[in-house]
Homo-oligomer: A and B are copies of this chain.
Amino acid sequence: MSSACCSNGMACFKPRLEVNSTAGKATNSVSLRRTHNFTAFGKQNLFGGSRFVSFSTFGSQCRNRAKFSPMAVGVRGKEGKPITRAESEESAKGKKIMVIGGDGYCGWATALHLSKQGYQVAIVDSLVRRLFDQQLGIDTLTPIVSIQKRIKRWNQISGKQLDLLVGDICDFDFLAEAFKSFEPEAVVHFGEQRSAPYSMIDRGRAVYTQHNNVIGTLNVLFAIKEFSPECHLVKLGTMGEYGTPNIDIEEGYITINHNGRTDTLPYPKQASSFYHLSKVHDSHNIAFTCKAWGLRATDLNQGVVYGVMTPETAMHEELINRLDYDGVFGTALNRFCVQAAVGHPLTVYGKGGQTRGYLDIRDTVQCVELAIANPANRGEFRVFNQFTEQFSVNDLAKAVTKAGEKLGLEVRAISVPNPRVEAEEHYYNAKHTKLTELGLQPHFLSDGLLDSLLNFAMKYSDRVDMARIMPAVSWKKIGVKPRTDASEVKL
């Protein structure tokens, strides 16, 4: 096994060293489409050509080479045998993967990872996530550049081409053109409004979230049926679909013995925001189309993702991933690290006993790759629980406090009134063996990762808007009046 971050003829980033990223030659890596829905990107590169970039915090993640090698994971064939890395790269070569939502937090990291693995990747994105930031007056901690610049830089660094199709999958004419022109063999679908608090801001956002997510996914299902019936849908669901039942959570299905009879049925869903509910709706819709039309799909019920860097996003500052810390899009752990870095108390909602599944973003990209390399069968609706460890919010607060103190930060956690409606103390035991069986090599939460993430947050701490850290949306207070002013979006 080799370390993906320091090989392959790409710029090698050593811990805490300045690195000159001049590998690759600039070419126009973006396909311009003539369809009216596709937006051409600007050709200027405001940051100029190659430049020195300090990615000092990446070092601590890179030290454990065995862990940090998503390229080296065993991908198993239908016979269940792990295939070699060479075989994996061979099978990836040229395989066309459409990454819907490829400009987002998980999507961007995944698109680059798949591109590096040899897949031919097209990003489909409406870029509306960037509009949400503008409308709410929030911003990623990290200074991300435009998708067009990102793609150009990736081409310069890696020599790989990424297609970009800018449009809304709720617009079927656009999506149909995208399918017909790109002819994907797999579609990775991250293209949804992904924030529970956003879906609870006001009626408009609740309706937007369910419409956008449910209809967008319906359109993807129809596009696959019509244009690429062999195409494998890899859909991002969420562990939040299950809620917090008092029994073990299984992966998608549960065998029930009832009144002397037995059946294996979809696991009951108890989602707790309009966002989480939209994913429940998607899961039901996808399951039906697998049965009725023989589509092949994998629903990745993902836990809360933390971390910001993958080997690919770390290659250049213009490839940097977004990192949300605000009360609407920020998620636990990432938000705690930013809070610790800027001297803001860690905001534990309520009692802090809320337990969920978590995973490193480097495992997100691994899991998606594993799903693609081991596709579902025709007619199969497969569900994987995509996380590596369970933590309570209090567990995370303690870990961040400890890691922060090691770096000389004064960290304290406070309990704030829980803006959500959720159990704050509950049983939680969710299974997650299917991806491990396919070869997932987890990056467990480590002091190194926390140290890296805290350093990262400290580096960009001047970009933090302290007024945006507190929880901003109440599950109970949501109303029908549109909250048009960003300043209104607070408790």
Contacts and interface: CB of A to CB of B under 8 A. Distances in A.
B284 A262 contact: no
A43 to B, nearest CB: 34
Contact of A284 (B211, B226, B258, B269): B269
A288 B284 contact: no
Interface stretch (A217-225, A322-330, A386-394): A217-225
22 contacts: A176-B480, A203-B222, A206-B218, A206-B222, A210-B218, A218-B274, A222-B480, A223-B480, A226-B479, A245-B265, A246-B262, A247-B263, A247-B265, A254-B256, A254-B268, A261-B427, A266-B269, A271-B284, A274-B285, A277-B288, A280-B281, A281-B281
Interface of A: 172, 176, 203, 206-207, 210-211, 214-215, 218-219, 222-223, 225-226, 245-248, 254, 256-259, 261-263, 265-274, 277, 280-281, 284-285, 287-288, 291-293, 421, 427, 475-476, 478-480
Copies of the chain in the assembly: 2
A400 B381 CA distance: 39
A219 B207 contact: yes
Contact of A247 (B206, B258, B273, B475): B258
Nearest to A242: B265
B263 A246 contact: yes
Contacts of A257: 247, 257
Contacts of A247: 256-259, 261-263, 265
Contacts of A219: 203, 207
Contact of A288 (B225, B271, B292): B271
Given A266-B270, A284-B277, A210 B206 contact: no
A428 to B, nearest CB: 12
Instruction: Report the 9 A-B pairs with minimum CB-CB distance, sorted nearest first.
Output: A265-B268, A246-B263, A247-B258, A292-B421, A281-B281, A247-B261, A203-B222, A266-B268, A226-B480
Residue of A258, A262, A266, A274 with most partner-chain B CB within 10 A = A258
Contacts of A265: 245, 247, 268, 270
A214 B225 CA distance: 23
A258 B427 CA distance: 13
A257 to B, nearest CB: 7
